[in-house]
Amino acid sequence: MEGKVKFFDHEKRFGFITGTDGTDYFVHISAVANGMPMNEDDSVTFDVVQGDRGPKAGNVKPVSEAPAEEAAEDAPAEESAEDAA
């Protein structure tokens, strides 16, 4: 599932992710790939797993930023072509 980080307390090492289904899922730093830092509004993918207190996020990974980077690389080339005309 995909979602966005709603809140993450770096000191306490837990937070919540809002899934595309509108549900808020608890997440602990131990469920985050490579212990990556998570910030509010970061886009992530995750698995919904059953915890002691209900569903929670597991196997949390950042959503790839590659398409946005490629678009940013193309934009200056288009602008310079317009400037040349």
Show pLDDT as tens, one digit a residue, over the chain (85 residues). Answer: 999 999 999 999 999 999 999 999 999 999 999 888 899 999 999 999 999 999 999 999 999 754 544 444 555 555 555 555 5
Domain ranges of the chain: 2-84
Question: Does 2.40.50.140 match the CATH number of domain 2-84?
Answer: yes
Helix, strand, coil distribution of the chain in percent, nearest 5: 30, 45, 25
pTM: 0.72
- Element containing residue 5 per DSSP (H, E): strand 2-9
pLDDT of residue 66: 46
Backbone angles phi, psi at 28, to 5 degrees: -105, 150
Q: Return the pLDDT at 9.
A: 96
Q: What is the pLDDT of residue 34?
A: 87
Task: Give which of 38, 32, 55, 51 is closest to 4, Cα–Cα.
Answer: 38
